[in-house]
Structures are given as structure tokens and as C-alpha cells.
A and B are shown apart, each in its own frame.
Chain A
Amino acid sequence: MFEVIKQGLETSVQDYPGRVGYLNQGFPPSGPMDSWSFRLANLLVGNEESFAALECQYTGPTLKFEKDHVIAVCGADMQPKINGNSIPMWESVLIKSGQTLEMGFTVSGARSYVSFAGGIESEKWLNSQSTFHKAGVGGIDGHALKDGQRVPLGQANGKIGRKIRTDSIPEISNSGIWEIEVVRGPNDDWLDDEGYDTFIKAEWKLQARSDRTGFRLDGPTLSFTEKATNKSPEHGYEPSNIIDQGYPIGGINLAGQTPIILVNDGPSMGGFIVPFTVPSASFWKLGQAKPNEKFKFKEISVQEAQEMRSEQTSICSMGSVI
């Protein structure tokens, strides 16, 4: 059990891979945005990679523990401290009964993950503990942690001093520019060649108002093919309108002229085209990007995206824990 002293900006319970299998009822998967860091955090404390842990966004929480626990902090660097003393990240550590874990504003990256040996004990909702804020379900009472809450933890004996091999840690860059892989489709043929070139060559700025439902991008205007302009009226009146369709998670939704990357809590369906999709292996970059940082997109094939995914799966294994 820990008590929430300061809730942080938005600290939520997530598990991996989230609420899978309910798309056709309108539920997105939720789950951690940077599942690379999330899975490693769980492995460090001896959990399965799927266990529920905390996702902390931009400013981490302050938590007071009521029992001894083995924990690990991975992902964005929010300068975690126990009773005022800095603790290493990417390493399992012991926090003692009565001690306080304190995290601040991020100095690198956007999302930090705190895992606990034995995981977080909260009720599953549609087979997952992941918080889905929009509908107020999952996690603790359906929302992010709040000051004063007491959150029950599982009991397990983790080992302290376990570390992640340096070459298995995602490189969270502070350069302000991210190269993000994209796969063409499903609606890439709605953009003309010029529109495609513009999209790939541009530097897109991540808007401040981006969250777990969508990442809005600022950039140039894209041009369309005949498909976008000569269509039956039920598609809608904007060139980017299409007959409502299911959205892939990671789909780059073109809403009018604003690309929005639909992320973990995004809508499952809607009436805008999706000319490109961010593959799952690149999601950790989205999870660690901060508003006003720049995105450059790099096109890869479906097969390359799937290879990246398997590579990441093998990194997120006990082979990376030393």
C-alpha cells in the first residue's frame, strides 16, 4: 500500500498491453504509451511485463509507502528521490516502510514508469487494469491518482540492484527533434504526390494540447487526390472526410488539415482519413516526446515495422536485465 501525497500532473495505473479485444464496443486499448520502458520496469522488479504499474506524465507523484517494497523507475527522468536522496533509474531499489518516493518535473522525456514487485492491486475492468480516463473506467476509480488516495500493492519478493544493460535502454533524446517511423496507409491514396512529399519532408511541431487520446501536429498544408474531392456526400464535406471507418491505433488522422496521431486512448472509429500509421515499435518515441518538439517522419514498409516490433520484443526480455 502507498499513500498519494502529491498526485503529480497525471499519474495513472496502466497494464500491458491494455484492454485488448473490445474495439468493437468502442474501447481503445489504453495501456502505457512507452511500453518499452514500461516492460523493462516490470522485469526489473521480477514481475511479468504485463503487470500494472504507474505511468507518470511530465511531473511525477510523491508516494509514501506503508511497507517495504522493491520498485523501479524507468522512462523519462523525473529525478526520483527516496526521502530526499536520489535513486538510480533503470535499476530495482528498495523503499522501506514509512519512506517517501518523490518525483519532480521531467528533465528528459515525458513519461516515467514506476513498477512495484507484485504489481498494483486494483480491480480489472474488461480484463484490464489500465485507466481509460475518457470513460472513467479502469485504474483506481477510473481516473488518475488523487492526493490522499491509498493504493494497494501486491506482495512479491523482488531483488534489488538489478539493472538494465545500457544498450537495451531507449535513447530519450533532448535534441527536440524525433525521427518517427510511419507506414503508408490505410488511406494514403487520398493524398497526391505533392501532399505525400510535403508530409514526409516537413518538420511537424507537437502541439501543447496533446494527450493520451491524440497528438496534434502543426505544419504545412497537404494536398489531395481526386478521391478526396470527388466522392458521395455521405463521406462528408471536407476533403479529409471519409465514411466512418475503424482507426488503427497509431493512425495519423487527418482532421481537416491537422494531422492527429491517435494514440492509446484514441477514438476507435471516425470519419477522417488515415494516410499513415505509426507502428507499435515507434510508440515509445511518442510517449517520450514533449509539446513543441519536432517530428520528422520516415516511411518504412509493413515488414520493416514488424521486424522492429520483434526486435523490441526481444529487447524487452530478461536478457536485458543484469
Chain B
Amino acid sequence: MVQEYKNTDLDLFQKIDLTNPKDELLKKNKIGSSQQENNNLKFNYLNHEISKFENLESHLSQDKSKKLDDILFSQLDVDDYASFKNMYPHNISQPKLNVSKLSVKKHINEDGTYPNLVSKNTKDKTSEIFQGIYPEPKFLPGGDKYLLIEFGNVMNLELNFKAQGLSNLIKTANINGVYETLPCFASMIVHYNPDDIGYQDLINELRSLLKDMKDNDDTVVNSRLFHFPTVYLDKWSKEAIEDYIAKITMKKPDPEFITELNQLDDVNHFVRVHSGTEYWVASLGFWPGLPFTMPLDPRCKLTAPKYNPPRTWTPKGTVGMGGSSTAIYPDRLPGGYQIFGRTPVPIWDPDKNFDVFKDSICLFRPGDRIKFVPCDYDEFEMIEKKVEDKSYRYDLIEEHKFSIKKYKNWLSKLDYNKKF
């Protein structure tokens, strides 16, 4: 499962020295000099960013408030910060956050930095991976037409197998009144018609399906494996990060930020770890076709917080991560994940230019796997041309079966001292 690491354009990524005030990126940044000193390396997410953002917001609203039409409604444009905020909102317009009351200190250090994310003992990861499952799933109402089933409260594969397994059973069982399901990492949404089935009856039906559900370990699922040529530490995501730093707020460049938080040697080490595993497509959402994926090799599990505030644009095909999830941006979109790579291969195609889209305009299905294969700019451009003239052939293996028992067996034999 672990594949060899290929050379990539690591040198192209210009390291940014945040302690050097002459650095280009810092010059662009409009933070006052006193704040700059304090925040060169520490990121205070609770104070100065909020006030900076407020200024930006009022600046934008001044520009926009001249015409009534614009205040009331503006057509969504992902490059337009104001309208973007509706789409991917955040808390920054509410500066009166009472930190002590919220006791966020467990998640953000008192000086505003992030706590260390890596447990000292890497062996913890073996036991961690199958923890946090509730003995009984929780059934939670979402208004009159939706039900949320929560299987646990951690992000792990077992929970996603459960969610995908139950989703498949619901499809097969063809319960009257159930429109659709949306399995996610640790939970699943069921969309139903209350005219056909009551809330309690639906829960009873789902409980009985869960009872009949085979032990997860025996589950074998069809799982396609896609290889995605990816330029890591690429110029395009770097440009998006620089633009964010210049226009919105200072932050450490994403690859270095992840490297530091996860206690890796350097960005090259980060690339080796990130590309050293296959990723399991847990769910599609937020944007049509956008895959939320998790690393199958626990040794490659990295963690990173999301942007705060989010980015206004991300290049199409950018690879990024937030929490422990990796995603590919199907289009030029706003976003909150830390970004560090780009693939030329489209993952959604409304025009259905390629065979793989004949069943759906979205490439992925839950249960697929993705392997990011580091490539250089030449290869990227070659593939990009093939995509343009529609001659590109997706690098995928269709017939794979994924056995959870075999997977667990593989996990138990892993060398946790291996260095990527």
C-alpha cells in the first residue's frame, strides 16, 4: 500500500522567513509594526485578526453600500469577499468573543498559538484509530425532514465504514419515505418525507437495519483507486497563500505551518508523509464533487486547523487539508483548508468530457481511494494539455475490493518506527 516517493519540485518553494522584516510577504502585509513584532511567529487568532478583518469588512461594505441593490443582494462571486462570506461564513464579525467563558483555552493556547498536535508516543495512533465509537448510535432530529445519526465523536475510518455501510443498507432496504442519505466522517444525514414515515418509525427502521448489519470486519466494499499526479509545494497555491497574507491576514505559509504543528523535519518531510499513503474518500460535500478523505496509513495522519478567516479563492485542483482530512478543490473556490499542492486532473465535469463521468458529473464515490503521486511542472503541463484536448486517460484501478478485516490486519503489522 505504501508507495515509493518520487522526486518533486521541492526547491521551487521559496521559504518565507517570518522573522525577517524585509521578506517580501511581510512587506505586503499591512499589520502595524508593533503588532508585527508580536505576531511574527505567534498567531493570535482571537484579537488582531478579528480587528483586521473588521476593518476589511467595513472597507468592503463602504464600497458596496452605495447602491441599495448591492446591500440587499449581490450575485455570488467567489472573488468577492463580501458575498463569499455568506457562502462560507465565519465568526469574525463578532469580535466580542469571551475567551474565558468559552474556555477555548484547551484548543488555543492563552497566547493565541495552537497547542502541539502530535502525541509524543506514535504508538498511540494504533489504538487511537478505532476509538470513540458510541455503543449505540445517537439519533438526532434536524427539523421535520432530516435525521442525523451520530456513530461516534472522533474522525476515524471505522465510523465512516459504519456510515457508508448503513447508507448502502438503507438503499437496498428501500424504506418508504426515505429520499436519500449523506454519510459523513462520523455521522450520516437521512432526508425523509414525514408524510410517508414518522420520525420514531424511521428510527425504529434504522435500528433494525443496524441490528442486521454484518460485523464491520467482514465487510468488503468495491473501492476504486485513483492516482493523482500532484505538484506539491506548487507556485499556484503559494500565490493564493501570498494573496491571502497580503489582503486578509498574516499567517505562516501552509506547508511550513503543517510541518511545524506536526513536528516534521521540514517541508520535504511533510511531502513524503502526505504522499506516502492512500486516502479513503469518506464523503462528498460542501461543493459538488468535493471529496473529504482520510489517510489509510495511520503513520501519515497529520492534523491542521482551518483558516480563520477562510480564503476567498483557491486555484482549481488545489490539494489541501483541515483537521485530519485531505480534500481536492474541484473548482476555483473559497476555502478553509491549509493548501500545499495542485493536480491538473479534473474531479468534476459538468460537460462530461471523459468516460469516467458517464454516470455522474462528480468523479468520486464514497469508498474510493486516492493516491497523490508527486510530479513536476513538466508532467503537470503535459497532463493539463491532454485534459484540454480531452485525450487524458484517468489513472485508476476499477476492480479493487477493500476488506476491512485485511486492512486491520495490515494495521497490526505496521512498523511504527518507519520514517517517511
Q: Are the CB atoms of A229 and B107 closer together than 8 Å?
A: yes
Expressed in whole angstroms, the Cα–Cα distance for A185 and B104 within the complex equals 22
Q: Are the CB atoms of B143 and A305 closer together than 8 Å?
A: yes
Which of B90, B117, B305 contacts A258 (CB under 8 A)? B90
Q: Are the CB atoms of B323 and A243 closer together than 8 Å?
A: yes
Instruction: Check: B7 CB closer than 8 A to any chain A CB.
Output: no
Expressed in whole angstroms, the Cα–Cα distance for A57 and B71 within the complex equals 13
Q: Are the CB atoms of B87 and A306 closer together than 8 Å?
A: no
Instruction: Check: B185 CB closer than 8 A to any chain A CB.
Output: yes
Of A10, A232, A290, the most chain B CB neighbours within 10 A belong to A232
Chain B residues within 8 Å of A126, by CB: 361
Which of A27, A250, A256, A281 contacts B91 (CB under 8 A)? A256
Q: Are the CB atoms of A27 and B288 closer together than 8 Å?
A: yes
Interface string of A213-248 (1 = CB under 8 A from B): 110100001011000111111111111100111111
Chain A residues within 8 Å of B91, by CB: 238, 240, 255-258
Instruction: Check: B114 CB closer than 8 A to any chain A CB.
Output: yes
Chain B residues within 8 Å of A291, by CB: 71-72
Q: Are the CB atoms of A250 and B76 closer together than 8 Å?
A: no
Q: Are the CB atoms of B141 and A183 closer together than 8 Å?
A: yes
Q: Are the CB atoms of B186 and A26 closer together than 8 Å?
A: no
Of B98, B143, B144, B292, the most chain A CB neighbours within 10 A belong to B143
Of A9, A237, A277, A303, the most chain B CB neighbours within 10 A belong to A237
Expressed in whole angstroms, the Cα–Cα distance for A25 and B368 within the complex equals 13
Q: Contacts A221-B98, A313-B195 known; A243 to B285 CB distance under 8 Å?
A: no
Expressed in whole angstroms, the Cα–Cα distance for A224 and B167 within the complex equals 31
**Chain-B contact segment, one of A82-90, A132-140, A158-166:** A132-140
Instruction: Check: A94 CB closer than 8 A to any chain B CB.
Output: no
Chain A residues within 8 Å of B97, by CB: 221, 256-257
Instruction: Check: B258 CB closer than 8 A to any chain A CB.
Output: no
Interface string of B85-110 (1 = CB under 8 A from A): 11111111110111001111011100
Instruction: Check: A58 CB closer than 8 A to any chain B CB.
Output: yes
| B98 smallest CB distance to A (angstroms) | 6
Which of A57, A221, A236, A309 contacts B323 (CB under 8 A)? A236
Q: Are the CB atoms of B285 and A209 closer together than 8 Å?
A: no
| B335 smallest CB distance to A (angstroms) | 11
Interface string of B129-166 (1 = CB under 8 A from A): 00010000000111111101010011100000000000
Expressed in whole angstroms, the Cα–Cα distance for A25 and B102 within the complex equals 35
Expressed in whole angstroms, the Cα–Cα distance for A238 and B361 within the complex equals 34
| B136 smallest CB distance to A (angstroms) | 16
Smallest CB gap from B114: residue in A: A237
Instruction: Check: B286 CB closer than 8 A to any chain A CB.
Output: yes
Which of A10, A22, A223, A234 contacts B155 (CB under 8 A)? A234
Which of A245, A257, A260, A306 contacts B199 (CB under 8 A)? A306
Q: Are the CB atoms of A235 and B323 closer together than 8 Å?
A: yes
Instruction: Check: A151 CB closer than 8 A to any chain B CB.
Output: no
Q: Are the CB atoms of A243 and B289 closer together than 8 Å?
A: no
Chain B residues within 8 Å of A237, by CB: 45, 104, 107-108, 114, 305, 308
Chain A residues within 8 Å of B183, by CB: 24, 246
Chain A interfacial residues counted at CB < 8 A? 84
Q: Are the CB atoms of B182 and A210 closer together than 8 Å?
A: no
Expressed in whole angstroms, the Cα–Cα distance for A249 and B192 within the complex equals 12
Interface string of A92-123 (1 = CB under 8 A from B): 00000000000000000000000000000000
Within 8 A of A (CB), among B214-247: none
Which of B106, B148, B155 contacts A248 (CB under 8 A)? B148
Expressed in whole angstroms, the Cα–Cα distance for A216 and B89 within the complex equals 8
Q: Contacts A251-B142, A256-B97, A258-B89 known; A21 to B180 CB distance under 8 Å?
A: yes
Expressed in whole angstroms, the Cα–Cα distance for A253 and B93 within the complex equals 15
Q: Are the CB atoms of A268 and B286 closer together than 8 Å?
A: yes
Q: Are the CB atoms of B102 and A243 closer together than 8 Å?
A: no
Instruction: Check: A4 CB closer than 8 A to any chain B CB.
Output: no
Q: Are the CB atoms of A269 and B72 closer together than 8 Å?
A: no
Instruction: Check: B312 CB closer than 8 A to any chain A CB.
Output: no
Expressed in whole angstroms, the Cα–Cα distance for A64 and B75 within the complex equals 24
Chain A residues within 8 Å of B345, by CB: none
Chain A residues within 8 Å of B153, by CB: 231-232, 235, 243
Q: Are the CB atoms of A255 and B323 closer together than 8 Å?
A: no
Chain A residues within 8 Å of B108, by CB: 237
Interface string of A249-278 (1 = CB under 8 A from B): 111010111101000000111110010011
Expressed in whole angstroms, the Cα–Cα distance for A279 and B292 within the complex equals 28
Expressed in whole angstroms, the Cα–Cα distance for A59 and B141 within the complex equals 36
Which of A184, A256, A274, A281 contacts B144 (CB under 8 A)? A281
Smallest CB gap from B159: residue in A: A243
Expressed in whole angstroms, the Cα–Cα distance for A184 and B148 within the complex equals 12
Smallest CB gap from A29: residue in B: B191
Instruction: Check: A35 CB closer than 8 A to any chain B CB.
Output: no
Which of B69, B83, B322 contacts A9 (CB under 8 A)? B69
Q: Are the CB atoms of B90 and A268 closer together than 8 Å?
A: no
Expressed in whole angstroms, the Cα–Cα distance for A249 and B180 within the complex equals 13
| B357 smallest CB distance to A (angstroms) | 12
Q: Are the CB atoms of A244 and B185 closer together than 8 Å?
A: yes
Q: Are the CB atoms of B144 and A245 closer together than 8 Å?
A: no
Expressed in whole angstroms, the Cα–Cα distance for A245 and B293 within the complex equals 13
| A243 smallest CB distance to B (angstroms) | 5
- List 6 tightest A-B contacts by C-beta distance, closest first: A256-B91, A269-B285, A248-B142, A246-B189, A248-B146, A277-B143
12 sample A-B contacts, Cβ–Cβ < 8 Å, listed by A number: A26-B287, A134-B287, A209-B82, A211-B73, A216-B89, A231-B153, A236-B107, A243-B186, A244-B323, A245-B150, A249-B146, A277-B143
